Structure 1
C-alpha cells in the first residue's frame, strides 16, 4: 500500500513544504469528516493535468458513501467538473444537483487546499442525502464548525503547525464537543462533553458560560488552570498569544480536576480571517490514567523486589566467600567457591531485571558480565579465554533465569575439568548460538583434554551436570547432549531449548 508521500512523489512535483502541509491535513481531517458526517477525498493534479485521488477518510459519525477504496483513482472531471474548477479557485464549490453513487444520493463539495497563495490539492466532501431529515442541534453545531474549518482549508489556515511536545493524542468529536463564540462563551455542549465536566466537578449547565472561567474553578493546580484558561481564550480569539509569531494555534493539554483527568484540545475557527470562536474537544481519560498509574506502580514494585533480591544474594555471596577464605579444608573451600559462583549468576539476572520494564533479560549482556567472574574464580593454572561468538538474544525472565544457571555451570565445568592438566596458553572456550523464532541452540565448546573414558551423561554423578540436566529438562523443557568437539580437541555440550511451546 503506497503512502501519501509515495503517491505525491509519483504524481506531482510539489515542494517539500507543500507536501508537508498535505500530510498535516490528512493527519487532522478525521475531525473534518466527523463534524461533516461526510466522506473526504484528497485529490492532486498531475503534471499532465489529470486529477488523482491520493487519500481517503471515512466518518465515525455516519455511514460511508464510498465503500470502495478510492485512492489511486483518476477522477473523471467531465462528471465532477467542480473538482477541476477548484484548482483555479479559492472558494468552496458545491454541486447544484445530487450525484448518485450506486444507490446512494450524495452532495459533493470541492474544497481547494490553499497553501502559500496557491491551490495544491482539492478536498471532495461527499454527504449522503438518501434519507433526508431535520438535523438535531448537535448536527447543526457540528456542520457549522465543519463549514468554518473547510473554509480555513481553502484559506490555507488549517491545519496549523501545532506543537505537541508531550505527544498527547487528539480527542475525537464524539468524545466531547463544545462550541465557543468569539467571546469564549459556550454556545453548544454535546452530552459527552457535559458528562466530562460533571466528572470534573461541574454541576450546572455549560451553555452561556465562559469556559475559561469554568476551567479555572475546576482544574486542581492553579498554574495549570491558568494555562488551560489562556489556551481556551487564545483559541476563541479573546486573548493574544503571549509569545511567538503565530496567533491561530490549536492547542491541547491534559488537566487534572478534583475528580477526573481530561484531555482538552482547542481548535481556533477563523474562516476568511474573521473571528468565529473555536471548537473544544474533550475526552475523559480518568480510567486510562488510573490504569497507567497502577501499571507504573506495579512495575516499580516488581523492579524494587528484583533489586532487593539482588542485594540479598550479593550479601549471601559475600558471606560464602568469607567462609571459603577462613576454611582450611580444600574440598570445602572449593564447594563454597562453587556456591559463590552460582549465587552470583542468579544475582546478576535479578540485577538486570531490576532495570527492565518488561521482565526480559538480554542474555548477551549476562554472559559478557558473567564470564570475567567465572574466569576469576577458576582454580586451575591455565588462563582460559572465553569467546562469546554469536548473539543469544533477549528472553523472558522465566527462561533466562534457568538458562543463565545452565551456562554458568557449563562454562565453569569446562574451565575446571577441561583444562586440568599442565598449564596452557591457548586454552579457549567458545559459546556458540543459533536462534530462530522457534528454537535456541547453544553449544559450549572447549579445546581441552576431552571427555573421560567411558563417560555417560545419564549416569554421571557430577553435581554441576546434575544441575544442568535438571534445569534443561524440567525448567526449560529442552534437550542436552555431550560429545567430542567437532573442530578437534576438547568437548562440546549442546543445549536445545524450544522458545514456543
Structure 2
C-alpha cells in the first residue's frame, strides 16, 4: 500500500515528499480501522486541479460485506457524488454521517476527517457504511454460512444470563430437542411467529407443527449437517437454515432470516428495468421516424444544398438514436461505448458511403461503460467526425481509403480519436460556417468538459478528444 500511495500522490497531486509520508503513515493502520468499525475506509487527496479528489488507499472490512465489488484506488471522487469529502477539503472540518454515491453508484453514509500537515489539509480519511442498512440492523451480529454450525453449537451451551447473544443475532433462532420440541427461541423468532399469526408462544411446541417449510423434514440432509431452503408464507420471503447438532440434548438448530425487503427490491429493479427499456425503445422509434421523414424529404428535394443539410440532420438524429437503441436492450442508464461506436459506424456507412468508394472503417480498443448523457455526446461527436472524413477526406478522386476510430480508457480519463489517410486540410483555414466541426468543438467543451486536438497533413487527419467518465468498471 505505501508504494501505491506514493506513486498515486506523485502522479495526481501537488503534495510534497514530507506530506506524502504523512499520508503513508495513516495508510498503514487503515485495515485495522476497517475491521474495528466494520466499515470501508479510504484516504483521498486533492488532484492537481484541486476540484476533484483521487482515492490513494482503501481497506475493506473483513467481518462484514463491503459496499464495493471492485477496488476504487486510483479513481476520482467527484464533489457532486461525495459532498462530505468536498466540504472537509474546503473547510478543513470533520463531516459526519452525510450521504454519498460511490464510484459504483451505490448509496453510502460517509464520515470524513481531515488529514493535516501543519496548517494544511493534505488529505481526508473516509469511513463509509452502506446506507441501505438501518441502525438496528447495523448493531446486530452477522454471520457467514460457514459460521452457522459453530454458532449453533455455542447457543446450545448458553445459560439464562448469556442468552443476550441470541438476541443480538440478525436472525430468528430456534433450538429443537431430541424429542422434536422447541426448547429455545430468541425474541426475533417469537415476534416472527406472532407476525405469521401464531397466537401461542412456539416454545415447547412440536417443531413439526410450526415448521415453516411443512411438517415433512426429509429435505434436511442429515449427512451434510447443514441445509437451507427459501419459503414464502404470509407475504414474507424467508430463508430457513437447519443445522444438525446432537449436543446437550439439542437435535438441531433452525435459523430464519426475513429477506422480504431484498425480494421486493429485486422486483422493483425488474419493473424499473422494464420501464427504462420501454422508454428508450419509444425514444429510439420516434427518432428513427424523424430520420425517415428527413430521408424522404431529402429524396424529394431538388436542391443539392438542401439535401446535404437534411442528410446531415438525419445523421445526427440517428447518432442519438443509436444510444437509445442500446439502452433499450440493457434496461439501465449505461451502455458500452464500443457498442455505440459500432452502431455509429454501421449507420454512417449505410447512408453516406458512396457506391463507388471502398472505405474501410476500423474500431480499435476495449469498450467501457458510460452513462446515457456521455454516450449521446460521444455519439454525436464521432458521427460528425466520421461523416466529415467520408465526405471530404477522399474527394480528390481516390476510390479507397481507411478510417480508424481508436478508444483508450484508464479509469479516470477516456480518449477517443478518429483518423483517416485522406488528403488532409489546412487547419488554419477552417471555415467559420462549418457547422459539423462547430458542433464537435461545442459538445467536447460544454457537454464532455474535455479537450480536443486536430492534426492534419497530406498523409491524413486525426481529430482526438478526451473526457472524464462518471462510471468506473
Q: TM-score range by the shorter chain?
A: 0.5 to 0.7
**Which one of 416, 424, 430 corresponds to residue 442 of structure 1?**
416
Which structure 2 residues correspond to residues 326-345 of structure 1 after superposition, within 5 A? 326-345=300-319
In the other structure, the counterpart of 1:474 is: 446
In the other structure, the counterpart of 1:262 is: 238
Displacement after TM superposition at 1:468 (Å)? 1.1
Say if 1:37 and 1:193 are closer, same or farther in 2 by CA, change over 3 A.
closer
Displacement after TM superposition at 1:480 (Å)? 1.8
Correspondence 1:412 to 2:387: yes
CA RMSD of aligned residues (A): 3.4
Displacement after TM superposition at 1:191 (Å)? 0.5
Say if 1:500 and 1:376 are closer, same or farther in 2 by CA, change over 3 A.
closer
Displacement after TM superposition at 1:188 (Å)? 1.4
Displacement after TM superposition at 1:249 (Å)? 5.2
CA contact (8 A) 2:370 2:470 kept: no
In the other structure, the counterpart of 1:484 is: 456
Partners of 1:343 and 1:270 lie apart in 2 by 71
Say if 1:191 and 1:307 are closer, same or farther in 2 by CA, change over 3 A.
same
Aligned residue for 1:491, secondary structure, equals strand
In the other structure, the counterpart of 1:32 is: 150
CA contact (8 A) 1:234 1:247 kept: no
**Which one of 153, 159, 176 corresponds to residue 135 of structure 1?**
159
Partners of 1:446 and 1:291 lie apart in 2 by 49
Partners of 2:329 and 2:414 lie apart in 1 by 24
In the other structure, the counterpart of 2:469 is: 499
Partners of 1:277 and 1:173 lie apart in 2 by 20
1:134-154 residue CA offsets vs partner (Å, 9 max, x unmatched): 931774997xxxxxxxxxxxx
Aligned residue for 1:483, secondary structure, equals strand
Which structure 2 residues correspond to residues 453-468 of structure 1 after superposition, within 5 A? 454-456=428-430, 460-468=432-440
1:386-431 residue CA offsets vs partner (Å, 9 max, x unmatched): 1212234322222112111111111111111111221323x11111
Displacement after TM superposition at 1:260 (Å)? 2.3
Which structure 2 residues correspond to residues 378-397 of structure 1 after superposition, within 5 A? 378=352, 380=354, 381-397=356-372
Displacement after TM superposition at 1:276 (Å)? 4.9
Correspondence 1:350 to 2:334: no
1:104-128 residue CA offsets vs partner (Å, 9 max, x unmatched): xxxxxxxxxxxxxxxxxxxxxxx9x
In the other structure, the counterpart of 2:174 is: 178
1:262-315 residue CA offsets vs partner (Å, 9 max, x unmatched): 2111112346xx995321001122223323322332232222211221222222
1:24-68 residue CA offsets vs partner (Å, 9 max, x unmatched): xx9623541475279xxxxxxxxxxxxxxxxxxxxxxxxxxxxxx
**Which one of 284, 301, 306 corresponds to residue 275 of structure 2?**
301
Q: How many residues align?
A: 328
CA contact (8 A) 1:448 1:490 kept: yes
Partners of 1:311 and 1:443 lie apart in 2 by 29
Displacement after TM superposition at 1:365 (Å)? 1.8
CA contact (8 A) 2:427 2:456 kept: no
Structure 1's unaligned 5+ residue stretches are 2-25, 39-126, 128-133, 143-171, 217-224, 236-240
In the other structure, the counterpart of 2:227 is: 251
Displacement after TM superposition at 1:199 (Å)? 2.8
CA contact (8 A) 2:360 2:402 kept: yes
CA contact (8 A) 1:141 1:179 kept: no
- Name the TM-score, length of structure 2 as normaliser: 0.61
Which structure: larger Rg?
A: 1
CA contact (8 A) 1:196 1:282 kept: no
Displacement after TM superposition at 1:174 (Å)? 4.5
Say if 1:277 and 1:173 are closer, same or farther in 2 by CA, change over 3 A.
farther
CA contact (8 A) 1:141 1:188 kept: no
Displacement after TM superposition at 1:352 (Å)? 1.2
Say if 1:268 and 1:34 are closer, same or farther in 2 by CA, change over 3 A.
closer
Say if 1:357 and 1:196 are closer, same or farther in 2 by CA, change over 3 A.
farther
**Which one of 180, 195, 198 corresponds to residue 202 of structure 1?**
198
Partners of 2:405 and 2:219 lie apart in 1 by 64
CA contact (8 A) 1:138 1:190 kept: no
CA contact (8 A) 2:244 2:251 kept: yes
Structure 2's unaligned 5+ residue stretches are 1-30, 32-143
Partners of 1:499 and 1:313 lie apart in 2 by 26
**Which one of 408, 433, 444 corresponds to residue 407 of structure 2?**
433
CA contact (8 A) 1:382 1:422 kept: no
Say if 1:140 and 1:402 are closer, same or farther in 2 by CA, change over 3 A.
closer
Partners of 1:323 and 1:184 lie apart in 2 by 82
Displacement after TM superposition at 1:448 (Å)? 1.3
In the other structure, the counterpart of 2:17 is: none
In the other structure, the counterpart of 1:290 is: 264
Aligned residue for 1:355, secondary structure, equals helix
Partners of 2:424 and 2:164 lie apart in 1 by 86
Which structure 2 residues correspond to residues 65-214 of structure 1 after superposition, within 5 A? 135-136=159-160, 139=163, 174-214=170-210
